[in-house]
Amino acid sequence: MSAVTLTDIVKRFGDFTAVHRMSLEIPEGSFLTLLGPSGCGKTTTLRMVAGLLDPTEGEIQIKGKHVTNVPIHKRNLGIVFQNYALFPHKTVADNVAFGLRYRDVSAEEAKRRVNEALELVQLPNVGDRYPKQLSGGQQQRIALARAIVIEPDVLLLDEPLSALDANLREDMRVELKRIQHRIGVTTIFVTHDQSEALAMSDQIVVMSDGRVEQVGPPEEVYNTPSSEFVANFLGASNILPATAGQASGDTLPIEVGGFGSIAIPRDRAPALNGSGKARLVVRAEKLLLTRPGDAPAGSISVDGTVETVDYQGQAVRYFVRVGDTQLQAINMIDGRPFNEGDSVAVSLRPRDCAALPEGT
């Protein structure tokens, strides 16, 4: 049984449609991420599941129960907000215990569960402090403890890491995933940060302009984007105009200007029906630059000239000209990076390419 089901959800604000007819099933215990740029409708969707917004049309079910008309305080959800939203006038222990007051829990039981929750977020000794006495990262852990102590049916995370600084964000990412795994609660996570989405999710829902662009596990969304938007939003991609040929067996020939014909595996072009105009997607880190003549066997190689070098420490981002197109390549540094103006061989393996129909 799925923990959360959205059926044909529509949300309009006046003339503006924030969410277009969205349907989604979230399996019990899974970690699902709503990913997209700001204004794509991801937070609106989360707030509808939470009961903080009413959908204009459609149905929401949580654990098989229709909750579309159930107010937020009767939905049994844990929500973690971007800015922690701790109660400043209550101690940490009282903050965490807050949800238990409205549930049938004895005083000793409540105390035990609060301690357990604080231990789970690795802050067992701060119960009698006030939120302001804690750092941002600690406050967000308390907010998480407060949300999970009530054993919610669904945990909703609204960009919970974006108020933290970069190092802390990565620690919390691991921590959050560990805790979610440990208690096995179904989780909906909203973020605009693709690396958070890729690192944490079982399923990613990529959204744009109120529509779902693609739903799938991280590797699938990353490696086989179903639209140009997804390809561009997740990481750096080269998107080249191409012509698809007739599939033969497991491969599909794609004609790309400059590279000639590339026979890509059929399953790398799931959205492509038949031959005709298409787009070839090659991730920047799958485009390998070598000295001319050193191109690895089994890959397709063309000559190019390095135009810009963007040194990033363990990797380098090159902008390289091939014919009349500029391509982006992110390569690990092996020895010395290339210099601007160097002649290189640009090579790619057919199985690292993906093809999309034109105009998606």
Partner 1 sequence: MGWNLIRTWTLLVYLFMFLPVAVVVLLSFNASQFGSFPMTGFSLRWFIELSQNEAILRAFRTSIVLGLMTATISTTLGVLASLALVRYRVPGANVISTLLIAPILVPEVVLAVALLLFLNFMSINKSFTLLLAGHVIFTLPFVILVVQARLVSIRRDVEEAAMSLGASPRQTFFQITLPLMLPAVLAGALFAFTISFDDITGTLFWKPGGVETVPTQIFAMLRNSISPEINALGTVMILLTVGLPLLGLAIARSASTKRGS
Phi, psi of 232, deg, nearest 5: -80, -35
Which H/E stretch holds residue 216? strand 211-216
Q: What separation in angstroms does the CA of 347 have from each of 184, 258, 286?
A: 43, 12, 9
The one-letter code for the residue type at 69 is: N
Q: Which is nearer to partner 1, 94 or 285 (CB)?
A: 94
Q: Which is nearer to partner 1, 103 or 181 (CB)?
A: 103
Q: How far is the CB of 89 from partner 1 (least distance, A)?
A: 5
Q: Which is nearer to partner 1, 92 or 179 (CB)?
A: 92
Q: Which is nearer to partner 1, 147 or 254 (CB)?
A: 147
Q: How far is the CB of 202 from partner 1 (least distance, A)?
A: 23
Q: Which is nearer to partner 1, 17 or 91 (CB)?
A: 91
Residue numbers at the binding site for partner 1 (CB under 8 A): 50, 52, 71-79, 81-83, 85-89, 98-99, 101-103, 129-130, 132-133, 143, 146-147, 150, 156
Q: How far is the CB of 78 from partner 1 (least distance, A)?
A: 7
Q: What separation in angstroms does the CA of 73 have from each of 95, 99, 102, 117?
A: 16, 10, 9, 21
- The residues, ordered by sequence, that sit 6+ positions from 26 with a Cβ below 8 Å of its Cβ are 2, 3, 4, 5, 32, 154, 186, 188, 203
Q: Which is nearer to partner 1, 52 or 168 (CB)?
A: 52
Tell the residue number behind the tokens 């990913």, with chain if given: 35
Q: Which is nearer to partner 1, 187 or 301 (CB)?
A: 187
Q: Which is nearer to partner 1, 91 or 243 (CB)?
A: 91
Tell the residue number behind the tokens 């800015």, with chain if given: 83
Q: How far apart are CA 323 and CA 178, in angstroms?
A: 48
Q: What is the DSSP string of 289-309?
A: EE-TT-PPTTSEEEEEEEEEE
Nearest to 289, CA basis, from 335, 325, 338:
338
Q: How far is the CB of 75 from partner 1 (least distance, A)?
A: 8
Q: How far apart are CA 210 and CA 191, in angstroms?
A: 15
DSSP code of 105?
-
Q: How far is the CB of 204 from partner 1 (least distance, A)?
A: 24
Q: How far is the CB of 135 from partner 1 (least distance, A)?
A: 13
Q: How far is the CB of 105 from partner 1 (least distance, A)?
A: 11
Q: Which is nearer to partner 1, 156 or 221 (CB)?
A: 156
Q: How far is the CB of 85 from partner 1 (least distance, A)?
A: 4
Q: How far is the CB of 1 from partner 1 (least distance, A)?
A: 23
**SS3 (DSSP) at 50:** helix
Q: Are strands 77-80 and 65-66 parallel, antiparallel or unpaired?
A: unpaired
Overall size of the chain counted in residues: 360
- The residues, ordered by sequence, that sit 6+ positions from 268 with a Cβ below 8 Å of its Cβ are 224, 252, 351, 353, 354, 355
Q: How far is the CB of 53 from partner 1 (least distance, A)?
A: 11
Q: Which is nearer to partner 1, 77 or 356 (CB)?
A: 77
Q: What is the DSSP string of 169-201?
A: HHHHHHHHHHHHHHHT-EEEEEES-HHHHHHH-
